[in-house]
Chains A and B, each alone.
Chain A
Amino acid sequence: MRGGTTKETFLVAFSALEAGGRLGGPPWLRDLRRAAIGRFAERGLPTPRDEEWKYTSIAPIAETEFDLGADGTDDDLTEAAIAPFCLSPTWSRIVFVNGRYSAKLSSIGLLPRGVRIESLGEALIADAAALRPHLIDSATVEAADAFAELNAAFWRDGALLHVSASASVADPVHLLFVTVPGPARVDHPRSLIVLEPESHAVVVESHVSLAEDAHLTNAMTETIVGARASLEHHKIQLEGRRAFHVGRTRFRQAPGSRVRSCSVTFGGRLVRNNVHARLGGAGAHCTLSGLFVIGGRQHVDTHTVIDHITPQAMSRQLYKGILDGRARGVFNGRVIVRPGANGTDAHQTNKNLLLSDDVEVDSKPQLEIFADDVKCSHGAADGQLAEDAVFYLKSRGLDEVAARTLLTFGFANEVLGRIRVEPVRAWLESLLTARLEGGRVTAEGFEEAVEPATSDRSR
C-alpha cells in the first residue's frame, strides 16, 4: 500500500508482526496487545474533529509512508556518536537505538542495593509475573487516544527503573532513545519507573535523532511513585527536522509522594506531549513544567491532565513556549478535582512568547471541579517582549539584539532555572543559547514544509 499511513496500515502491520511472533511477551501481554489494537481499530487515527486533537493535525504523519515492520538496532553505532547527548560519564545510562536496548552503548554503573535499571523487554522475558501489576491495560489509561493504544499494541522495549523502598539513586539515571539514519520508522518505546515507598530517583529521558530521516517516536513512560517517594523527571526532546514525536508521561502518585517534572522540546517537526499526573493520595505534590523553543514550521502541542483524586494534594504547572517563524503551539491544561478531593491546591500557568507575526498559539485551561474547599487557579499570557525591559537593557549598554536575546533567554530560563540537576540545567541553557542566536529562534532545516518521505508515492 502506498501513499501514507492509515489505520489499516497499522492493523496490517500488527497482524504481520503478531503472526511472525515478533511482538514478544507472555500470553497475558498478548491479550493486552490484541485488546489495544481492537480499540485502535474502532477509534482510528485522530482527526481535527476529535476535541483532543482540535488544533493539531496529524496529516504530516498520515502522509508519511512508514516501514512499520522495521526492527533492529544499529550494531555499528559508536559511543562517540551518542557522546554529545551523554551528560556525565558517572551517570548510569540505558540506551535504546531504534527502540531497542543496546547493551553495548548502555553503561550501568554500580547501583545501590535495591535499584534495578534494565531493558523492560528483557525484564519481561525473565520476570514477567512481577511486572504484570505495573504493565497496566491501556484500556484503563485516562484520556487514552489512538497513540496510547498503538503503543500498548506495538511496544517491544524501553527502560525499567525499579527503586526499592527507602532506596535512593544518588546520580541521575539517563534513558537515551536514539533513532539512527534509515527508512522512515515508527518506534513505540515504553518505559516503566517504579519508586517504592520513601525511595528517591532522578531521571533524564532524552530522545534524539542522528539523521534527518522521517520517523515517528510514540513513547510512553509510566511512573509509579509510592508513598512519600520522590521523583525528578526530565524529558528532553531533540529529534530531527522530520521527526514526529508523540509522548505520554504518566505519574501515578501515592500519598505524600513528590514529583517534579520538566519537559523540554527543541526538536521535531510535529510533537505532541501528553503529561498526566494522577494524584491518588493525600498530601501528594506534583510540580510540572515545560518549555518549547520552536521556529520554522515546527508544531508542538502539550496536553496536561492533572487528576486530583484524593484530598489535600497540590499541583503546580508552568508551561512556556517561544515561537518564531511560522511555528504553532498548543497548550491544553486540564485539571480535574474529583468529588471528595477537598483541600486541593492547583495552579496552572501558560505563557507564550511570540517572536514573529506568523506564529499561532492556542492555549486553553480546562478546570473541572467537583469538590469543595479547593484552591484552583490558572493564568495565561501570550505576547511579545516588553519594550520597557528592552529599553532598560539598552540603557545599560546592550544593543537591540543583545537585549532581546537576553530577555528571550530569561523567558525560557524561568522554566530551566527550576531544574535542580545542575548538569542538566547547564546543558539545556547552552542548547537554548545556541538556539537563540541573534534573539530569534534558529531552527535551521525546520523552515520548509516537510516533503513526503518517499519520492515515488502516487497521489
Chain B
Amino acid sequence: MLSIRGLRAGVEGKEILRGIDLEVRAGEVHAVMGPNGSGKSTLAQVLAGHPAFTVTAGEVIYEGRNLLQMPPEERAREGVFLAFQYPVEIPGVASAQFLKAGVNEIRTHRGLEELDAVDFLELLKEKLKLVDMDPSFMSRPVNEGFSGGEKKRNEILQMALLDPKLAVLDETDSGLDIDALRIIAGGINQLRRPDNAIILVTHYQRMLGYVTPDRVHVLLAGRIVKSGGKALALELEAKGYDWLEERSEVSA
C-alpha cells in the first residue's frame, strides 16, 4: 500500500528526515516510535502534504502512485488520513458542517452520491458512538473549547467518517487520560480492516497496549534505526531510547 524509499525532508533548509525507508501493506498496523525531535511528526505531516515541509530526496509510492505529487486534498480523497497531533480550532464552523463537507468531498471523489443532511446525520450518530462522543459537540464550532481528549476523539471520529485506506495517527495518545485512551484505542481497533493500514506515531508504548502493532520502528535523528515486532515496543519502554541512540552513532 505504501512504500517510502530514501525519503529526505526538512523545513526552512533544516533537514529533519534523513533517509526513511518503510513498507506498509494492507491490513497492517505500524508503530513509529522515537524521542522528541526524532522526526516522527514531520514524517506524518509529509505524508499528508503539509506545505511547510520540503521533500529533498526519495519517493513515496501510495497504491502505485507518487504520493508526493498529489496535493493534500487529493491524498485525502484517495484515502490518506492524518489524525493531527494538534487539531486546529475553526471558529464559526459547526463540527457537523465541517464533517459533512469532508465526507461529501470524498464520496464525490469515489463516485458516490453526496449525503443529504438527514443521511449524514444517521451516519454521524453511528460513528459518534464509536468514540463515545456526545452529539451536542456537533453543533459546536470545530474543536473550539474542546479539551485535549475531546479533540483527539474528534480526530478518530473523522477517521471513522472518512473511511481512509491509510491512516496516520500523529501522537493521538498524547495528553489522554486512561479512559480516553481506552475509548480511542477501541475506536481504532474497530476501524482496523484487512484492506486498510494504520501508522501510529507515538512517543510512548502505552497506546500499543491497546492497539497491537504488526511492526514497530524506531526513528532517531531522522532515520529508522531499528525495526521489529511488538516486543520491540516493550523493550523500548524498559530501556528508553538511549541505548539505540548510542548504537546509531556508532553505525553512523
Chain A residues in the interface with B (C-beta under 8 A):
386-389, 391-400, 402-403, 406-407, 409-414, 417
Please determine whether B88 and A414 come into contact, CB atoms closer than 8 angstroms: no
List residues of chain B with CB within 8 A of the CB of A407. Answer: 90, 93
Please determine whether A410 and B105 come into contact, CB atoms closer than 8 angstroms: no
The answer to whether the Cβ of B156 comes within 8 Å of any Cβ in the partner chain is no
List residues of chain B with CB within 8 A of the CB of A409. Answer: 92-93
Q: How far is the CA of A386 from the CA of B91 in the complex (A)?
A: 11
Which of A391, A395, A398 touches B101 (beta carbons < 8 Å)? A398
List residues of chain A with CB within 8 A of the CB of B162. Answer: 396-397
Which 8 residue pairs across A and B have the least CB separation, nearest first?
A: A410-B92, A396-B102, A397-B105, A410-B93, A413-B92, A394-B72, A392-B88, A397-B76
| Interchain residue pairs with CB less than 8 A apart (24) | A392-B84, A392-B87, A393-B102, A394-B73, A394-B76, A395-B49, A395-B75, A395-B82, A395-B84, A396-B76, A396-B102, A396-B162, A397-B73, A397-B106, A398-B105, A399-B71, A399-B73, A400-B73, A402-B101, A406-B90, A407-B93, A410-B93, A411-B92, A414-B91
Using A396-B158, A406-B98, A413-B92 as known contacts, list a sample of 17 further A-B pairs with CB atoms less than 8 Å apart, ordered by residue number in A.
A388-B88, A391-B72, A392-B84, A393-B98, A395-B73, A395-B81, A396-B98, A397-B102, A397-B106, A398-B101, A398-B102, A409-B92, A410-B90, A410-B141, A411-B92, A414-B92, A417-B92
Q: How far is the CA of A393 from the CA of B162 in the complex (A)?
A: 13
List residues of chain B with CB within 8 A of the CB of A397. Answer: 73, 76-77, 102, 105-106, 109, 162
List residues of chain B with CB within 8 A of the CB of A392. Answer: 84, 87-88, 90
Q: How far is the CA of A410 from the CA of B77 in the complex (A)?
A: 23
The answer to whether the Cβ of B48 comes within 8 Å of any Cβ in the partner chain is yes
Q: Count the B residues whose beta carbon is within 8 Å of the partner chain — how many? A: 29
B92 to chain A, nearest CB (A): 3
Which of B72, B90, B91, B141 touches A395 (beta carbons < 8 Å)? B72
Q: How far is the CA of A29 from the CA of B141 in the complex (A)?
A: 51
List residues of chain A with CB within 8 A of the CB of B91. Answer: 410-411, 414
Please determine whether B92 and A398 come into contact, CB atoms closer than 8 angstroms: no
Which residue in chain B gives the minimum CB-CB distance to A320?
B92
Please determine whether A396 and B92 come into contact, CB atoms closer than 8 angstroms: no
List residues of chain A with CB within 8 A of the CB of B51. Answer: 387, 391
List residues of chain B with CB within 8 A of the CB of A400. Answer: 73
The answer to whether the Cβ of B50 comes within 8 Å of any Cβ in the partner chain is yes
Q: How far is the CA of A410 from the CA of B90 in the complex (A)?
A: 7
For B77-99 the 0/1 string (1 means CB < 8 A from A) is: 10001101001101111000110
List residues of chain B with CB within 8 A of the CB of A393. Answer: 90, 98, 101-102
Please determine whether A406 and B93 come into contact, CB atoms closer than 8 angstroms: yes
B95 to chain A, nearest CB (A): 11
Which residue in chain A gives the minimum CB-CB distance to B81?
A395
Which of B50, B73, B87, B88 touches A398 (beta carbons < 8 Å)? B73
> A386, A388, A392, A407: which has the most chain B beta carbons within 10 Å?
A392
Q: How far is the CA of A407 from the CA of B77 in the complex (A)?
A: 20
List residues of chain B with CB within 8 A of the CB of A386. Answer: 88
List residues of chain B with CB within 8 A of the CB of A402. Answer: 101, 105
B211 to chain A, nearest CB (A): 21
Q: How far is the CA of A409 from the CA of B97 in the complex (A)?
A: 11
Q: How far is the CA of A410 from the CA of B71 in the complex (A)?
A: 23
List residues of chain A with CB within 8 A of the CB of B77. Answer: 397
A379 to chain B, nearest CB (A): 14
Q: How far is the CA of A109 from the CA of B158 in the complex (A)?
A: 48
List residues of chain B with CB within 8 A of the CB of A411. Answer: 91-92
List residues of chain A with CB within 8 A of the CB of B98. Answer: 393, 396, 406
Q: How far is the CA of A145 from the CA of B179 in the complex (A)?
A: 62
A205 to chain B, nearest CB (A): 24
A430 to chain B, nearest CB (A): 14
Q: How far is the CA of A409 from the CA of B105 in the complex (A)?
A: 18
List residues of chain B with CB within 8 A of the CB of A410. Answer: 90-93, 141
For B53-78 the 0/1 string (1 means CB < 8 A from A) is: 00000000000000000011101110
Which residue in chain B gives the minimum CB-CB distance to A414?
B92
> A394, A403, A414: which has the most chain B beta carbons within 10 Å?
A394
> A402, A409, A410: which has the most chain B beta carbons within 10 Å?
A410
Q: How far is the CA of A417 from the CA of B92 in the complex (A)?
A: 7
Please determine whether A413 and B93 come into contact, CB atoms closer than 8 angstroms: yes
Q: How far is the CA of A406 from the CA of B100 in the complex (A)?
A: 12
List residues of chain B with CB within 8 A of the CB of A403. Answer: 73
Q: How far is the CA of A169 from the CA of B75 in the complex (A)?
A: 54
Q: How far is the CA of A403 from the CA of B72 in the complex (A)?
A: 12
List residues of chain A with CB within 8 A of the CB of B76. Answer: 394-397
Q: How far is the CA of A394 from the CA of B73 in the complex (A)?
A: 5
A415 to chain B, nearest CB (A): 8
Please determine whether A394 and B71 come into contact, CB atoms closer than 8 angstroms: yes
List residues of chain A with CB within 8 A of the CB of B158. Answer: 396
Given A397-B109, A398-B101, A398-B105, answer yes or no on A391-B90 (Cβ-Cβ < 8 Å): no
B141 to chain A, nearest CB (A): 7
List residues of chain B with CB within 8 A of the CB of A399. Answer: 71, 73, 105
For B90-131 the 0/1 string (1 means CB < 8 A from A) is: 111100011001100110010000000000000000000000
List residues of chain B with CB within 8 A of the CB of A412. Answer: 92
